[in-house]
Amino acid sequence: MKRREFLKLCGCFVLSTSISYKAFATLKNLNGENLPNFKLDIRPLTINVGATKPFKALHISDTHYTRATEVENQRKINLATARQKTFPWVEHYFDMEMDYARDKNLMVIHTGDFQDFITEANLEQIKLQTNVGEWITAPGNHDFSLYVGEAWEDEAYKAQSYDKVNAAFPNELTFNSRVVNGVNFVSLMNGYYYVTEYQLERMKEEVKRGLPIVLLCHVPLYTPKHCERNLKSNNNYASYLMGTPREITSNFRLNPSYPADHWKQCRKQQYSTDTTLEFVAWLKEQPLLKAILCGHCHHFFEEQFSPTAVQYVVGAGYQGAAYEVEFK
């Protein structure tokens, strides 16, 4: 067998087999030009939160599982085939991330878009993965997508699949609180760029407990530099942040690469509700808030959110991005 044929065979092996993050590095060294650079981008992070005992967690987001089997309708099967071209190495990067977390005995924090759209296979994978080790999750917009981009996504849309999706995750998705070593991890659903009155009131109740809080959500909350960065990168099309001031949202302009209806829906969806603006303003005044961990934007970004809290946006999990966080 010629060397090139052998390396092609190795490539097929990578496509069909779960391999640890350590083994991927070896395969890459065999044939760097033909195999993807399967290298995790895990960035160390230390957050002083006042924990009773230091502990670590792996923060990941935006896995975008795209599995579909014959039990789905043909439309979903076709969609999975198409979306796998956008997220071709999801399974391998996720396996590497899980190997890393389990080798180091890390709790896993996942902040949304575990699946790209709802299928039985995706939900089953979420159940299987989150049944191993310690997990805290916050859902993303895609976690409730019946398909991708086919409908206006709001509470009524989410309600069509909420119970089924919620049952696949290890904790309640609308709002959840879990205390670990004296730190209150509060996770909530904000994948559609808003929070509800119920979530605001629940958050106020959590503050009354008097514990340091780490907020987990999918969509980052508005911060000026992150907003500027996102608008610049997409020609002022959208901020992709929750709680963006209305004067900014109102000036989102038509992106010629998208249909006009899509752009109008994007501007409408990201237009901040009264409750959302109240939530963001109130949260900035809470000294017990120590950090925000989120995803959605598929890039790393860190910015001061309030006098006591930095917001940490993790890169795309489907590309091997993660934070290894030490809470002190």
Which CATH number characterizes residue 159's domain? 3.30.750.180
Taking phi over 0 as left and psi of -120 to 50 as alpha, with beta for the rest, 5 belongs to alpha
Is 82 found in the same domain as 4?
no
Range with the poorest average pLDDT among 61-70, 79-88, 147-156, 217-226: 147-156
Query: Residue 283 and residue 94: Cα distance in Å, rounded?
Result: 32
Is 60 found in the same domain as 19?
no
Is 23 found in the same domain as 170?
no
Is 34 found in the same domain as 44?
no
**Quick one: tokens of 271?**
């237009």
Is 163 found in the same domain as 32?
no
The pTM (predicted TM-score) of the whole model is 0.89
Is 154 found in the same domain as 22?
no
Is 179 found in the same domain as 239?
yes
**Quick one: tokens of 135?**
């997990």
Residue 1 is predicted with a pLDDT of 36
Is 113 found in the same domain as 10?
no
Is 106 found in the same domain as 28?
no
Report yes or no: 38 and 10 within 8 Å, Cβ to Cβ: no
Query: Residue 302 and residue 293: Cα distance in Å, rounded?
Result: 10
In the chain, how many domains are there? 2
Tell me: pLDDT of 113 over 60.
yes
Is 14 found in the same domain as 105?
no
Range with the poorest average pLDDT among 3-7, 30-34, 223-227, 265-269: 3-7
Is 185 found in the same domain as 49?
yes
Domain extent, residue 263, equals 40-327
Q: Which amino acid is at 318?
A: Y
Q: How far is CA 13 from the centre of its chain?
A: 28
Q: Which of 251, 194, 183, 187 is nearest to 221 (CA)?
A: 194
Show the CA angle centred on residue 310, arms to residues 107 and 315, nearest 5°: 60
Is 191 found in the same domain as 50?
yes
